[in-house]
Amino acid sequence: MSQEPRVPGEAVDDPVIAPLQAWLRSRLTGEQARAEWRSTLEAAWNHLLTARVDALVSEPQVLALAESYLDPSRIRVLITPVVRELLPTFVHCMRTDDDPVARWVPSEAQEAVKRMATAPGLIQDEWIRTFFRQEAVEALMADALYRGLRDFSTILPRVILALLPTSRLPGFGGAGAMGKRMLEEFEKRLEPEIKSFLAGGTQRALARAAEFAIQHKDDPRGIKARTDIVDALLAHSPSFHLKHLTDERIAEVEPIAEAIAQRIASREQSRRLLREAVAEVWGRHGSRKVADVFEALGLRATPDFDAWADATWPAMCTVFQAPEMVRWIDGLVVELIEQREGLIAQRS
């Protein structure tokens, strides 16, 4: 005698359902599943490599996901964890590192960095001009010029004074005494003349200095200056470079980063640039296999599946034990039984 098929969703009065549900929950989180998780990850990864990108996700879906974070409230999710937790932790670790940065950079990499730093055209002319326009540089130049002019302007009178005879001259009295008085008068009048000259001369000197620096920025001395900076950065330790980056200054980064993120998220131009970027990337890689995309990006190493399995299994168990997932798993058991009984009814 055949049974009537069940109405989908109708409560199933079957004494085996509860044990089956308990078994499935245990099966998904038990030791056997844990042992299978590693091989499952590797098999899934290898299968993923053979799939085309556009078979996994569409361009509109990628764009919609990216645009979902161009929201003033949601973009904080991307910014806050980095500046609140990761940045302070990184800086704290570096503050205790007193060994040179160079130990992390092999010699061939150091030479490559220096080649980049000394490449012609690296420094734009406007950067140099902007530097020499700064008030602080002007003050520095004015002080240097003042001291140089004053020192130089007093050399000649002192040389003349030293050459004057120390004996009295007929009709003139002591030549040395007269020369000394002349020197004192000269120095008194010299200072306002120097200051008057510097009032307009400093900026002219800075402009000439900027043009000189631009013309000679790729000369041997200019190149050596850049390599010296690289050497100094590598020679000092992380603690040296970060010693003035206090906790208070780090705390100031968060509101700055959030303000910038909020501005980026609120501008329509950001969405336009995002759409253009997604379209360009999709045009290059959308129809390719995942493995080919990874190869093009230089991602050739195989993941450490043991490490990934160890790291992700606890999270998987937690997900399967969530109340919503338990209800979903239990519902699958009920649906499976309903489907089985429906198929039996159709055949009888």
Q: 162 pLDDT band (50/70/90 cuts)?
A: low
Q: How far apart are CA 215 and CA 226, in angstroms?
A: 16
pLDDT of residue 8: 44
Q: Indicate if the pLDDT at residue 187 is higher than 70.
A: no
- List beta partners, residue 168: 174
Among the residue ranges 26-30, 149-153, 179-183, 331-335, the one predicted with the least confidence is 179-183
Q: 105 pLDDT band (50/70/90 cuts)?
A: very high
Going by C-beta distance under 8 Å and a sequence separation of 6 or more, which residues neighbour residue 85? none
Q: How many CB atoms lie within 10 A of CB 110?
A: 15
Which residue type, as a one-letter code, is found at position 145?
A: L
And the tokens for 213? 């620096």
Q: Indicate if the pLDDT at residue 12 is higher than 70.
A: no
Q: What's the pLDDT tens digit per position in 246-294?
A: 889 998 998 899 899 889 888 899 999 999 999 999 999 999 999 999 9
**Cα→Cα distances 143→53, 67, 110, 322, Å:** 64, 54, 38, 71
- List beta partners, residue 289: 52
pLDDT of residue 176: 54
| Cβ-contact 271, 70 below 8 angstroms | yes
Q: Which helix (H) or strand (E) holds 121?
A: none
pLDDT of residue 28: 94
Q: How far apart are CA 146 and CA 196, in angstroms?
A: 11
Going by C-beta distance under 8 Å and a sequence separation of 6 or more, which residues neighbour residue 107? none
Q: How far apart are CA 201 and CA 141, in angstroms?
A: 10
Nearest to residue 35, comparing CAs of 320, 305, 328, 348?
305
For 54-62, what is the mean pLDDT? Answer: 95
- Best mean pLDDT range from 67-76, 180-189, 298-307: 298-307
pTM over 0.85: no
Q: Indicate if the pLDDT at residue 7 is higher than 60.
A: no
| Cβ-contact 50, 294 below 8 angstroms | no
For 316-332, what is the mean pLDDT? Answer: 94
Nearest to residue 213, comparing CAs of 124, 144, 143?
124
pLDDT of residue 63: 94
pLDDT of residue 2: 43
pLDDT of residue 161: 59
Q: Indicate if the pLDDT at residue 172 is higher than 50.
A: no
Q: What's the pLDDT tens digit per position in 216-253?
A: 888 888 889 899 999 999 999 999 999 888 889 998 99
Which residue did the predictor score with more confidence, 174 or 18? 18
| Cβ-contact 334, 66 below 8 angstroms | no
| Cβ-contact 162, 152 below 8 angstroms | no
| Cβ-contact 156, 220 below 8 angstroms | no
| Cβ-contact 9, 322 below 8 angstroms | no
Q: How far apart are CA 28 and CA 34, in angstroms?
A: 8
Which residue type, as a one-letter code, is found at position 31?
A: E
Q: What's the chain's average pLDDT?
A: 85
Q: How far apart are CA 70 and CA 136, in angstroms?
A: 40
And the tokens for 99? 């060994």
Percent of the chain with pLDDT over 90: 47
Q: Indicate if the pLDDT at residue 87 is higher than 60.
A: yes
pLDDT of residue 102: 95
Q: 1 pLDDT band (50/70/90 cuts)?
A: very low
3-state helix, strand, coil in the chain (%, to 5): 75, 0, 20
Going by C-beta distance under 8 Å and a sequence separation of 6 or more, which residues neighbour residue 88? 247, 250
Q: 133 pLDDT band (50/70/90 cuts)?
A: confident
